[in-house]
Amino acid sequence: MEGKVSNFRYAWTASIPVLFGYVTLGFAYGLYMHNLGFAFWYPALMALTIYGGSVEFFIANLLLQHFNPLNVLLITAVLGFRQFFYGVAMLTKYPHHGWQKWLLIFGLSDETFVLNYYTKIPDGYDPTTVRTWISVLDYFYWALGALSGGCLGGILNLQVKGLDFVMTALFLVLAVEQILKEKDHWSALSGFVITIACLLVVGKSYFMIVTLLLLVLEYYWFGYRERGRH
């Protein structure tokens, strides 16, 4: 029993940065849905089922327009395409996790990916349990924020501009923290250069897909060369 509590406590400590970011942005999302005229349970339901961050903001607007399933599918696929590469990167982290693997896959948001991929779990803790708790806690934070914003929207009746940047800022903070832990910064520097180049050449509509494909090829190449040396 003590081991289970320790695993939860470690996951809770690791997820605290996400707590503040997700609850704040989720609250803004709930207010945003309220200002669009939706009942309080809409943002909570979308947070629990979609769990897509920026996708949920986008779909909120689509719900007010003529429904076009193909358009929703394509845009959602573009916005969430990076999740495919998160899944590939986590193949070495999530083997033999049983039923928990499906929960881990569903909960693989940007910030959860950073935590579960880079967090060094000390000896004495169960990695599967810790990663599962991190995923569950992050999911709970987002749903709690969305529900709170939807419920209090009727009372506050306001819309705070700029809170949609909170998730981006949160991801940047987590990324900088991991960069500082690296022995060399080649991967971070190359990722930055490739991203800027793709944005300038391809444009903002599709640069994310091109960038991720190039990064996968780059990491595969360097991994191949590293294996060749050994």
- The pTM of this model reads 0.71
pLDDT reported for residue 82: 72
Kindly report, residue by residue over 121-180, the tens digit of the pLDDT.
888 888 889 999 999 999 999 999 999 998 887 777 766 666 556 556 766 776 777 677
Q: Which residue has the higher pLDDT, 59 or 181?
A: 59
Residue 90 has pLDDT above 80, yes or no: yes
| CA gap 31, 162 in Å, rounded | 13
Kindly report, residue by residue over 182-216, the tens digit of the pLDDT.
677 777 788 888 889 988 998 877 777 788 778 77
Average pLDDT over residues 62-71: 74
Average pLDDT over residues 5-28: 90
pLDDT reported for residue 168: 66
Mean pLDDT of the chain: 80
Q: Residues 6 or more apart from 142 whose CB is under 8 A from it?
A: 22, 23, 25, 26, 47, 51, 53, 109
